[in-house]
């Protein structure tokens, strides 16, 4: 009887603990970080690795990096693979690749860690990179497969023949997916690597690769980059890519002397706005806010109208429009709403990347 009572007490305590963690997790998901921290602190101090891992992520969001590292290491040393993985991501973001690799090896049972090791070794050891990417691919990770196949396009040795059967699909798409990874400024940004993978995909006719490569050239702004960007935008636009049409229109309106065709640019933007394109609305808003004249000389600068376009783009989740409103117009509760919207947008986009922080749900 005493034994059964003891087991029942443990079960009740476990359920109560689970409820407390779930409340903290829901607060974290709802961006109520201080509330999440308050609920997780007592659980973490009791030694629960799951709570320590999530508390580490909460502290990262609050920019308490030393506390975040301390809690993640505490959980990782207890054998929590997610915490070890998160430490790997943390150190990679800090630029400490050797520490990132060390902790990823401790999390190696996770498919995500195998993918991460493949990505990290791409910088230093292609043989190991291919090995880990193939392991993650065999466990069902589609990005690992794409990255492996993109590596084989540009660097295939005799030893790599064993991977060839894994790369019988659309290798051009693999190049695009891998190049897109390197366009992320937060964790993976590398203009050179992005161009390295995207250019062969674009030159082989991949429309999204054309547009993305054009955006990279346009942002880089080296000699002749604007002309290169416009070339790729027009190629993608000719195949019906609306974003590429919008990008070309922006260059026509704002570009240097040899690319500037403001009337054509305004007309292209107007058509894209009529089709509901968010980026076109954002650009049209900027034109009305900044320019002395917009399109034909009879259309004058109109900041109120311009702001309306930008708010419409923000309502469609345009990150550029949201950032503009946070920086230039929003205040108080409105500013907080836009900041929460932008944070949610980036969290969703991060799911497309190779390295993402991991935690347990309820």
State mean pLDDT over 135-154. 92
DSSP string, 65-94: HHHHHHHHHHHHHTT-HHHHHHHHHHHHHT
pLDDT at 79 over 90: yes
pLDDT 10s digits, 246-291: 999 998 888 766 667 888 888 899 999 999 999 999 999 998 888 7
The distance between the two most distant Cα atoms of the chain, rounded to a whole number of Å, is 91
Least reliable range by pLDDT among 16-20, 37-41, 50-54, 169-173: 16-20
What pLDDT shows up at residue 2?
Answer: 47
What pLDDT shows up at residue 279?
Answer: 95
Write down the CATH superfamily of domain 1-106: Tetratricopeptide repeat domain (1.25.40.10)
Reported for 20-27, long-range contacts at CB under 8 A and 24+ positions apart, including other chains, are 21/48, 21/50, 21/51, 21/54, 21/362, 22/362, 24/51, 24/54, 25/54, 25/359, 25/360, 25/361, 25/362, 26/362
Least reliable range by pLDDT among 90-104, 119-133, 152-166: 152-166
Handedness of CA 348, 354, 356, 359 (dihedral sign): positive
What is the residue extent of each domain of the chain? 1-106, 110-169, 262-340
Residue of 19 and 231 predicted with greater confidence: 231
What pLDDT shows up at residue 351?
Answer: 65
State mean pLDDT over 56-73. 95
What pLDDT shows up at residue 296?
Answer: 53
pLDDT 10s digits, 210-232: 999 999 999 988 878 988 999 99
Residue of 7 and 318 predicted with greater confidence: 318
8 Å CB contact between 175 and 206: yes
């Amino acid at each position: 009887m005493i034994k059964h009572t003891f087991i029942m007490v443990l079960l009740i305590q476990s359920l109560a603990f689970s409820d407390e963690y779930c409340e903290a997790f829901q607060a974290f998901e709802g961006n109520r970080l201080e509330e999440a921290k308050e609920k997780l602190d007592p659980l973490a101090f009791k030694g629960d690795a799951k709570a320590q891992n999530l508390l580490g992520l909460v502290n990262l969001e609050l920019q308490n990096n030393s506390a975040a590292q301390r809690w993640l290491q505490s959980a990782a040393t207890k054998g929590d693979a997610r915490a070890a993985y998160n430490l790997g991501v943390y150190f990679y973001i800090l630029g400490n690749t050797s520490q990132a690799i060390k902790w990823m090896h401790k999390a190696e049972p996770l498919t995500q860690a195998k993918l991460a090791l493949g990505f990290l070794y791409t910088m230093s050891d292609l043989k190991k990179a291919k090995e880990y990417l193939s392991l993650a691919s065999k466990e069902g990770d589609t990005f690992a497969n794409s990255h492996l196949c993109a590596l084989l396009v540009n660097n295939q040795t005799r030893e790599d023949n064993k991977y060839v059967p894994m790369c019988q699909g659309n290798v051009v798409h693999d190049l695009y997916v891998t190049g897109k990874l390197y366009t992320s400024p937060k964790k993976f940004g590398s203009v050179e690597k992005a161009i390295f993978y995207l250019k062969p995909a674009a030159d082989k006719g991949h429309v999204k690769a054309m547009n993305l490569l054009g955006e990279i050239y346009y942002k880089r702004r080296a000699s002749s980059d604007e002309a290169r960007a416009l070339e790729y935008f027009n190629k993608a636009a000719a195949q019906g890519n609306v974003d590429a049409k919008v990008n070309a229109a922006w260059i026509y309106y704002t570009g240097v002397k040899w690319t500037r065709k403001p009337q054509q640019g305004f007309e292209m933007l107007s058509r894209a706005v009529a089709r509901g394109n968010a980026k076109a609305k954002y650009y049209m808003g900027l034109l009305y806010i900044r320019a002395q004249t917009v399109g034909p000389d009879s259309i004058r600068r109109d900041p109120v109208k311009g702001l309306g376009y930008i708010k419409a783009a923000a309502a469609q989740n345009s990150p550029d429009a949201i950032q503009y409103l946070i920086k230039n117009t929003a205040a108080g509760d409105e500013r907080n709403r836009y900041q929460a919207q932008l944070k949610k947008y980036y969290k969703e986009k991060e799911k497309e990347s190779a390295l993402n922080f991991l935690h347990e749900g309820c």
